[in-house]
A and B are shown apart, each in its own frame.
Chain A
Amino acid sequence: MGIVIGPRVIDAGTSLLSVLISPVRVAAGYPSPAQDYFDGRIDLNEHLIKDITSTYVVRVSGDSMEGAGISDGDELIVNRALDPKDGSVVIAVLDGELTIKRLRITPSGVVLQADNPRYPDIRVPALSDLVIWGVATRCLHHV
């Protein structure tokens, strides 16, 4: 498929990580078809984003997900095409706000957890009572 996204969106490929690497050598008899297209630079879009049409980047505000390694000011890659599962880090709509939580689907109900003991769990009767905006797949943590 072609790729669609505003050119100024996540073109970190050239500026952020212009790492020059060598083509990978593979065992004789298995030439990598990708080698023909090797252009010497890692494209972060290609590696970090599976479905660019359905992917948005958001920024975290707050410290409730510290336990998951997600800090205030970090960027998250969010794929809206994915099914949220037990354990997924999701963006849920709570009181009209995009909110990041860890989703727990248990026999006794659905729980939205913070990965920080200072914040209480939010219980919901069923997954259908929740609006899940997207599933976070990567955190771009500022080190």
Chain B
Amino acid sequence: MSDARAPDTGRRIALVDVNCFYASAERAFDPSLEGRPLVVLSNNDGCAVTRSPEAKALGIPVGEPWFKIAPRAKEWGLVARSSNYELYGDISSRVMELLGRYSAWLEVYSIDEAFLGVKGTPDELLLLGQTIKGAVRRNIGVPVCVGIATTKTLAKLANKWAKNNPGLNGVCHWDAMPAQAREALMGRLSVIELWGVAGRLTKRLNGLGIHSILDLANADPVRIRDRFSVVLMRTVMELRGTPCIPMEEERVGRDQLIVSRSFSTPITTAADLRQVMSVYAQQASARLAKHGLQATVLTAFAGTSHYNPLDPSYPSVCVTLPMPTADPVLLTRASHALLPRIQEGIKYVRAGIMVTDLRPTGRQSPLPVFAKPHEERGIGTLLEDISRRYGRGSVGLGHAGIRGGPDWSMQRTMLSPRYTTNWDELPLVRAA
């Protein structure tokens, strides 16, 4: 069980994530895809970014170009879908809000995963894990796995184990596993399987004789800090059961960017949150510009404190942007869609935005004179000045301007309907 030296308060961290998220979101509205090999393709239908278990079983590697899969699709009975980010964004929002009902502390980690603060005996927490898993499957329609442990790193590991071990029925509590089984598992898995350990780091670790996760857990934390970084030392501590990875405030993933933060003083009004959202939107804009990316979907969310479990509130909203953009003005406006969902008077201690469906800016190939982002050129103040001088409406943002413009070049030939965000594309139910 847990470390005998530390009094066990029963506090744990649960990592909940949706299995093969994009593929599962597609299946939620098209049951004919159930049980068939399914791949979801990247922008421009380039390569497979998500594979259903059946597609993985066919040996299709992640990132496999579609032109290599396509010739055998028919023979395999394989179905491909273009990325439907509006659908994924909305389903993600729903999942996060549902998870908020089970914990007063929720950290949205990515589009399809969140950390939850939970408390209880191993038996109680295994039951809670099953309850959460059942509720997300039933109420939203997608399958999740739950990993529970004392630290985020171990919760990630437990989650991975739950995914790869059907006997656990999707829920793994690290402390409920016999110590021997935990050690055996950590001894079997390479450090590269570990959360936050990249390929290059693995090579250097191997050079020091650290191959398995167990090797790293047994390494001297100080030595690891001196040879590598404080970040990796934290991983070692976490593997030993000491929580020390704080909430990350900014993350750029493969196809998403998150800016979120906790406030020192709670925010209780939509007016104040409006300012916060504006700041985040501008940060996200700057990060996108730095990476040469644009987004088409924005999710804004907020949450109450886990110290105040009386009025839990985890509003979340998903907005489709009018075009692929990194424009601070458009992102800010989109983030403000959260404000009507804010309950006045409730103490919000966290908020954030996530942008998805990232794609290179280059696709629009702007003229050099227009290439710089708005904020660097003081567009906001310029608009304000012109409006003051010539009246409201005399100037506005050109939604069809040269910088953005409709994304004609994007190929999404296998796109499913926007089932939950577009009135003309609702799921059809057969009355026959």
Contacts and interface: CB of A to CB of B under 8 A. Distances in A.
Contacts of A91: 429
A98 B430 contact: yes
B57 to A, nearest CB: 20
Contact of B97 (A2, A75, A94, A97): A2
Interface in A54-78: 54, 56-65, 70, 72, 75-76
B431 A62 contact: yes
Interface of A: 1-9, 51, 53-54, 56-65, 70, 72, 75-76, 80-81, 91, 93-94, 96-100, 114, 119, 131, 133
Contacts, number: 131
Interface stretch (B110-118, B144-152, B308-316): B308-316
Contacts of A100: 429-431
Given A1-B101, A3-B341, A6-B318, A62 B432 contact: yes
A76 B429 contact: yes
A59 B430 contact: no
> Of residues A1, A51, A70, A96, which shows the largest number of chain B Cβ atoms within 10 Å of its Cβ?
A1
Report, nearest first, the 10 A-B pairs whose CB atoms are least far apart: A2-B315, A62-B431, A96-B32, A6-B421, A54-B139, A4-B97, A62-B432, A64-B431, A59-B426, A93-B31
A84 to B, nearest CB: 11
A98 B419 CA distance: 13
B141 interface: yes
B428 interface: yes
A140 to B, nearest CB: 11
Interface of B: 29, 31-32, 34, 86, 89-90, 93-94, 96-98, 100-101, 138-141, 302, 312-320, 337, 341-343, 419-423, 426-432
A60 B86 CA distance: 22
9 contacts: A2-B343, A4-B318, A9-B90, A9-B423, A53-B94, A57-B420, A70-B431, A93-B31, A114-B431
A3 B315 contact: yes
Given A60-B431, A70-B431, A97 B96 contact: no
B97 A1 contact: yes
B138 A81 contact: yes
Given A8-B421, A80-B139, A59 B320 contact: no
A53 B432 contact: no
Contacts of A93: 31
A128 B58 CA distance: 30
Contact of A81 (B139, B419, B420, B428): B139
A80 B97 contact: no
Nearest to A70: B431
A8 B94 contact: no
Nearest to A95: B32
Contacts of B86: 6
A4 B93 contact: yes
Nearest to A97: B430
A61 to B, nearest CB: 5
Contacts of B430: 61-62, 94, 97-100
Contacts of B315: 1-4
B31 A96 contact: yes
Contact of B426 (A4, A58, A70): A58
A61 B419 contact: no
A58 B31 CA distance: 14
A21 B432 CA distance: 40
A58 B98 contact: no
A95 B343 CA distance: 43
Contacts of A75: 426
B431 A72 contact: yes
Nearest to B421: A6
Most buried by B among A3, A4, A97: A4
Given A56-B419, A59-B426, A4 B139 contact: no
B409 to A, nearest CB: 24
A9 B343 CA distance: 21
